[in-house]
Amino acid sequence: MLSGAVSRKINAMSSPTGFNAASTVQEMWQTRPPRIPRRQGGKAYIAGVCEGIAVRYQIDPVIIRLYLVVVTLLLSVGGGLLMYALAWMFLPRYGLNRAPGQTLFASSTSLIAEERRERPIGYCLLIFAIITAVTTEWDFASFLALVITGLAWWGLQRRLPYPPAGLIPGTKKHAPQQVNLGLFASANPTPGTTWEPLGTSAHDWNIRPPQPEHRRVAVWPWIVGAITAITIIVGAIISAIAFVGVGSIVFRSSPNGTPSQNWMVRSEGELLYDYDWEETSATVNLAELGPLTEDNHTRVVANDTDATVILPTSVPVLLHCEGEGHATCKDGRLNPNATGPVLDVTLVDGPGEGIATALHPDLAPAGNADAFKQPKDRNDVPEGYHGQIGLQTIDLRRVKDLEHDQDLIIGHGAGALTVLAPDTPYELTCGRNLGPSNCVSGTYNQDKPGKTLHISVGKGIGPLTVMNS
């Protein structure tokens, strides 16, 4: 037989106030707080989650609200929203035995009328929770928010393992603290006796009969439904942006779906009259094209695959655009300050699925002058570029021969981002991107002179294309 001390120790470990984790978790679920919304007398702002937690564990509801705000704003927006949605989903209203989430898995015959009214809310919360969980980027801060919340709940349970008397239906043990629950209206009140004006006294004949309680129309199902619908619409828009692009110069479903080739043209002797291909996407890079001895013409065609032409800035260019679907191509002269023979470029968007794209500082979409960023030299490289909505091109080709290692952070907002890699050793770090991307983290141009440029591309929505010279 075990000694008395050991037996007492085991009993203490198994008690709700001991250190038995499984028992504590079970008690946390069985005695979880009810929600006390405003229509039941609570001072709630949304669903009564914070109010119910405060009454259950006898703390100020302001503390709970401040905690949720801090977690949501400082640690994880998605984590904070998901925690509140789950609390709303699995905490029953004061007076009920089942929460909205539990009503989804119970038969209608086993539910009372008020619990059946919770079922539409349960479906909406389930959809909202799934969308939030899928769209949230679960980084360390997000998981930290969940862990801190779980530990805080566990600590409150250890502090007050039993609820106040009358707060949770069916509980046998109660906290010694007395709570005035008369301030709150139960969602399932105990039926009273029938009205009988002369039942106790003949002098009470003029007492008015009890008036039926005016039931307010439940608006929360409509509010939650509207929030869910808006979330679905926003999610659809984000998905469209991710795979099509906002103001993008590239519309492709998979940049790695077909092989690609790059043409680097530095002299007119390397210039071809016609760049037309069928099986591979290609880039014709004319940025380093030197002075011409005579007028030249070249033609770039996109049929079933994408074609991108990077136009020079030091040579007079006459650009012609044929076909439809051009996001940046505009007929006219470029580089008005350049002198010498003219390069005549015809960009053709053919009948296939490929997209013809022209890259040049003067071809940024109207109203978006910041769409094209190009450092003049190694001394002009900033610490970073902010992400934005729509087309964005970061041209780093003039950055070379760095004297010391340097960091560059490129923000990717919503839309197509094109990064033209520098002509120097660089290390590329690719953030999480919602949309097609050919960005591969690694080190490049190790055979080039100069120090290393550390490029970090932030997370974003839309196509991401990195072009190496």
Position 43 pLDDT exceeds 90 = no
351-393 tens-digit pLDDT: 776 677 788 777 754 444 456 787 878 888 888 888 877 677 8
Q: How many domains does the chain have?
A: 3
If asked whether residues 41 and 54 sit together in one domain, one would say yes
* Domain presence at residue 206: no
If asked whether residues 161 and 37 sit together in one domain, one would say yes
Position 247 pLDDT exceeds 50 = no
Position 340 pLDDT exceeds 70 = yes
Helix (H), strand (E) at residue 385: strand 384-385
Last residue of a domain, one of 363, 379, 398: 363
Q: Mean pLDDT check: name the lowest of 4-13, 94-103, 114-123.
A: 4-13
* Domain presence at residue 214: no
Helix (H), strand (E) at residue 118: helix 113-135
Kindly give, in sequence order, each residue whose CB lies less than 8 Å from that of residue 368, ignoring residues fewer than 6 positions away. Answer: 247, 388, 390, 391
Token code pair at residue 36: 């006390």
272-311 tens-digit pLDDT: 888 876 666 677 888 778 889 999 999 888 877 777 888 8
- Residue 368 in contact with residue 390, Cβ under 8 Å? yes
Residue with tokens 């949770």: 168
* Domain presence at residue 29: yes
pLDDT top residue among 393 and 404: 404
Amino acid at the residue 73: L
What average pLDDT score do residues 211-234 get?
A: 55
Confidence bin at 318 (pLDDT 50/70/90): very high
If asked whether residues 359 and 386 sit together in one domain, one would say no
Handedness of CA 321, 326, 329, 331 (dihedral sign): positive
If asked whether residues 41 and 132 sit together in one domain, one would say yes
Query: What pLDDT was estimated at residue 39?
Result: 84
147-186 tens-digit pLDDT: 888 888 888 888 888 888 888 887 778 777 777 777 888 8
Residue with tokens 């470990």: 13
430-448 tens-digit pLDDT: 887 777 778 889 999 888 8
If asked whether residues 258 and 343 sit together in one domain, one would say yes
Query: What pLDDT was estimated at residue 64?
Result: 87
Position 25 pLDDT exceeds 60 = yes
If asked whether residues 260 and 351 sit together in one domain, one would say yes
If asked whether residues 271 and 418 sit together in one domain, one would say no
- Cα gap 418→423, rounded to integer Å: 16
Please tell me the pTM assigned to this model: 0.44
Query: What pLDDT was estimated at residue 297?
Result: 92
451-464 tens-digit pLDDT: 999 999 988 877 78
CA Rg, the chain, in Å? 33
- Cα gap 431→411, rounded to integer Å: 9
* Domain presence at residue 290: yes
Instruction: Using alpha carbons only, give the angle 394, 395, 397 rounded to the nearest 5 degrees.
Output: 150
Domain span holding position 233: 15-170+219-243
Q: At what angle do helices 140-159 and 49-57 cross, to 10 degrees?
A: 40
* Domain presence at residue 310: yes
Query: What pLDDT was estimated at residue 215?
Result: 47
DSSP 127-154: HHHHHHHHHS---HHHHHHHHHHHHHHH
If asked whether residues 283 and 428 sit together in one domain, one would say no
